[in-house]
Amino acid sequence: MKSGRKDPEGPSPLVPLPEGSGAGAVVREGGFAFIAALFLLVVLGAFVAFATTITMNAQTSGALAVQGVRGYEAARSGVEWATYQILDPRQAINGTVTTPPPCFASPSTPTLPGDLGNFSLTVSCTRYPANGASPNYYEEGSLRTVVYDVTATASQGTPGAADYVERQLQVRIEQCKNPNGTAPAYSC
């Protein structure tokens, strides 16, 4: 500073070095702001990575939930198909019969339409009493009753993979025929 006047630029960021470090050498102080900025960048980067992971997991969970519902509907379609095959309301499959019919070919793999077509559907049927039994129905009075256990399994993807979806529905269907009833259905 010169004779009593103040430096208009404020104190100098340059500080003389201690004795013995070189003639007239000066060093700039600082570095704390750089460390704070670096820390802030690391914390913000970690937060962005965490938020991205959470978002991706939420989207994947939502997509699997939709596929799960589709799988359920595919299995339900298999149960409805089997019910129609067994009950044969128009006598178009088994014709006019006075005894409940046997199961359809089991397991069967009906084809599904639309978005459900991506699912593999397997429908199986077990008849009680078996069709080869004698008599092959439960009889109460003149009524002939048969019970069918139907299992429909819809699956998509590779078992063990993260996107694998499988839904299975089981139903029990009872059918009754009255040989003394009116044709063509002979319903109880």
> 0.85 cut: is pTM over it?
no
pLDDT tens digits for range 50-94 = 988 888 887 778 888 899 999 999 999 999 999 999 988 778 877
Question: In this structure, are residues 151 and 170 in contact, taking their beta carbons and an 8 Å threshold?
Answer: yes
Is there a cis peptide before residue 184, judged by omega within 30 degrees of 0?
Answer: yes
pLDDT tens digits for range 22-45 = 555 555 666 788 888 999 999 999
